[in-house]
Amino acid sequence: MQMVLSELIVGQQPSGEPAKVPLIRFKNGDGPRVYIQANIHGAEIQGNAVIERFLQLCRDNAPKGNFVIVPMANPIGINQKSGEFTLGRFDPISGDNWNRQYHFDADAIRAFAQQNIYTPENRVKAAFQQLLLQQLNHRLQSPWGLKTGQQMATSLQRLATEADIVLDLHTGPISDRHLYVPEFARHQAKRFNIPLNIIMPADFGGALDEAAFSPWWQLSQTFKRLGRDFPIMVEAFTLELGSQELLNPSQAQQDALGIASYLEQHGCWDDGTHQPEVVTQHACLLKDYRSLYSPSGGQVEYLGELGQPLIQGEPIARIWHYHKLGQTGPIHEDVTLPCDAIPVLHFASANAQQGTELYKVLTNTFPL
Residue 290, beta-bridge partner list: 361
φ and ψ at residue 169, rounded to 5 degrees: -95, 120
Q: 246 and 46 in contact (C-beta within 8 Å)?
A: yes
Q: How far is the CB of 220 from a copy of itself (least distance, A)?
A: 27
Is residue 250 at the binding interface for a copy of itself, with CB under 8 A as the rule?
A: no
Kindly identify the residues of this chain, within the stretch 295-314, that bind a copy of itself according to CB under 8 A. 295-301
Applying CB under 8 A, among 119, 188, 356, 364 the residue interacting with a copy of itself is 356
Phi, psi of 261 (to 5 degrees): -60, -40
**Residue 153, SS3 per DSSP:** helix
Span near a copy of itself by CB under 8 A; candidates 104-112, 146-154, 187-195, 203-211? 146-154
Burial of 188 (0-12, 13-18, 19+ CB in 10 A): middle
Regarding 327 and contact with a copy of itself (CB under 8 A), the answer is: yes
* Separation between Cα atoms, residue 77 and residue 62, nearest integer Å: 32
Query: Which of 119, 251, 288, 320 is in the footprint of a copy of itself by CB under 8 A?
Result: 320
Determine the interface stretch with a copy of itself among 69-77, 188-196, 259-267, 280-288 (rule: CB under 8 A): 69-77
Which residue, 96 or 162, has its beta carbon nearer to a copy of itself? 96
Interaction between residue 260 and a copy of itself (CB under 8 A): no
Q: Does 354 bind a copy of itself (CB under 8 A)?
A: yes
Per CB under 8 A, the list member of 31, 75, 276, 307 interacting with a copy of itself is: 75
Give the nearest distance from C-beta 269 to a copy of itself in angstroms: 19
Q: Which is nearer to a copy of itself, 293 or 366 (CB)?
A: 293
Number of residues that bind a copy of itself (CB under 8 A): 95
How remote is the C-alpha of 152 from its chain's centroid? Answer: 16
Decide whether 228 or 295 has the Cβ nearer to a copy of itself.
295
Backbone φ, ψ for residue 151 (5° rounding): -60, -50
Establish if 81 lies at the interface with a copy of itself (CB under 8 A): yes
Residue among 208, 203, 164, 165 nearest 183 (CA): 203
Kindly tell me which residue out of 146, 167, 196, 198 binds a copy of itself, with binding defined by CB under 8 A: 146
Asked if 170 is part of the footprint of a copy of itself (rule: CB under 8 A), the reply reads no
CA geometry: angle 46, 364, 275, nearest 5 deg: 40
Judged by CB under 8 A, the residue of 55, 185, 256, 342 near a copy of itself is: 55
- Member of 65, 71, 195, 304 binding a copy of itself (CB under 8 A): 71
Three-state helix/strand/coil letters over 191-259: HHCCCEEEEECCCCCCCHHHHHHHHHHHHHHHHHHCCCCCCCCCEEEEEEEEECCCCCHHHHHHHHHHH
| Nearest CB to a copy of itself, comparing residues 189 and 337 | 337
Q: Is 242 in the site for a copy of itself (CB under 8 A)?
A: no
- Orientation of helix 208-225 relative to helix 121-140, angle to 10°: 130
Closest alpha carbon to 71 in 42, 93, 97: 42
Interactions with a copy of itself, residue window 171-230 (CB under 8 A): 173
Enumerate residues 83-142 that contact a copy of itself by CB under 8 A.
83-87, 89-97
Each residue 12-31 as x (binds a copy of itself by CB under 8 A) or -, in order, gives xxxxxx-xx-x-x-------
Decide if residue 334 touches a copy of itself (CB under 8 A): no
CA-based nearest residue to 104, from 73, 76, 138: 138
Rounded distance, CA 282 to CA 365, Å? 6
Q: Does 321 bind a copy of itself (CB under 8 A)?
A: yes
Alpha-helical segments (H) within the chain: 46-60, 75-78, 108-115, 121-140, 148-160, 186-189, 208-225, 249-264
Q: How far is the C-alpha of 49 from the C-alpha of 167, rounded, in Å?
A: 15
Binding residue for a copy of itself, selected from 123, 287, 349, 366, defined by CB under 8 A: 349
- Tell whether residue 69 is a contact of a copy of itself (CB under 8 A): yes
